[in-house]
Amino acid sequence: MPHDDEQDKPLDPAVENVRRKLVRFIVINLGILFIALMAVVVALVYRATRVSETAPATISELPVPAGEGAISGAVTLPAGARVLDHAITGSLLSLRLELASGAEAILLYDITSGRTIGQIDIAGGR
């Protein structure tokens, strides 16, 4: 059984030195990896438990008329314009228009004051 004797022989000093360096390298890298993992876990726990310091943005609400009446008004569009799309945020209504010339524009309308506050022409179109 010469094979068993080879396994029991002490390693050559040069090989033993390389083995020690390799073990030290592995231990140091595993330590660094563990510290990095702990930093990530601490950051996640911190973010999960931290109370939000900023107040949520308030959304302005439309005044609701008393009784059964509904909010009504009229938006004056440019001649020959056609509404392609619309959106509302708070008291601001935006209308995407196709003008008579074929160009597009965005019309901004304030519902509470009942007036047009701006028009943005879209250059380039389709």
Biggest CA–CA distance in the chain, Å, is 104
Residues across the chain: 126
Tens of pLDDT, residues 49-104: 887 666 566 665 656 656 666 677 788 888 899 999 999 888 889 999 999 998 99
Structural domain range at position 117: 82-122
Question: Within a domain: residue 32?
Answer: yes
| Cα–Cα dist 15/11, whole Å | 6
Count of other CB atoms within 10 angstroms of residue 4 = 7
Query: End-to-end CA distance of the chain, in Å?
Result: 86
Question: Within a domain: residue 17?
Answer: yes
Tens of pLDDT, residues 27-41: 999 999 999 999 999
Question: Within a domain: residue 116?
Answer: yes
Count of structural domains, the chain: 2
Question: Within a domain: residue 45?
Answer: yes
Cβ partners under 8 Å of residue 112, min gap 6: 62, 63, 91
Question: Within a domain: residue 89?
Answer: yes
Question: Within a domain: residue 2?
Answer: no
The pTM for the full model equals 0.46
